[in-house]
Each structure stands twice: as C-alpha cells, then as structure tokens.
C-alpha cells in the first residue's frame, strides 16, 4: 500500500466492510483456507459466471515466490 494516504486506506477498509457484510461466507472461506495453510504447489481455481451464463475458469499453482508475497501481505495487516 505504498503511496496510499490515510483517507484512501479508510475508504478501502470501508469498502471491505461493506463487501464482507454483503458476502459473509467469503471471509469465513478465506479463514478456513488460510488455517489449512496454503503452501507451495497448492492449486487455486477461480470460476466466474456472468448473469447470461457464460463461464470463465482459470487456475494457478502456488510457487515459492507467491508464498513470499503472501507472507509479506500477512505482515502488512
């Protein structure tokens, strides 16, 4: 969050609170996944379906450099 001023940070925090209020299962999902310990070679898959029913799907395998990024993000907040 380098270069962000306190007002921007508060706006993001407010938006996150609204998001989690609208989607209460998502933070619980993230907590469950993180408690299991995402580690190198874990595969994360995301599927997006439009209101018209068109689907987009992608996946990625977590690398060591990804783990380093996650560790840095954990220590930020």
Please report, for the chain, the start and end positions of each structural domain, with discontinuous segments joined by +.
Answer: 1-37, 38-77
pLDDT in tens, 32-55: 888 887 889 999 999 999 999 999
CB 25 within 8 A of CB 33: no
Question: pTM to 2 decimals?
Answer: 0.63
Pairwise CA distance, residues 29 & 42, whole Å: 16
Tens digits of residue pLDDT in 13-36: 999 999 999 999 998 988 888 888
């Amino acid at each position: 969050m380098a270069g962000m001023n306190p007002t921007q940070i508060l706006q993001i925090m407010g938006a996150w609170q609204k998001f989690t209020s609208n989607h209460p299962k998502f933070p619980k999902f993230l907590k469950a996944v993180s408690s299991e310990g995402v580690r190198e070679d874990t595969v994360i898959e995301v599927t997006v379906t439009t209101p018209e029913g068109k689907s987009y799907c992608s996946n990625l395998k977590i690398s060591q450099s990804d783990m380093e990024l996650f560790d840095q993000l954990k220590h930020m907040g």
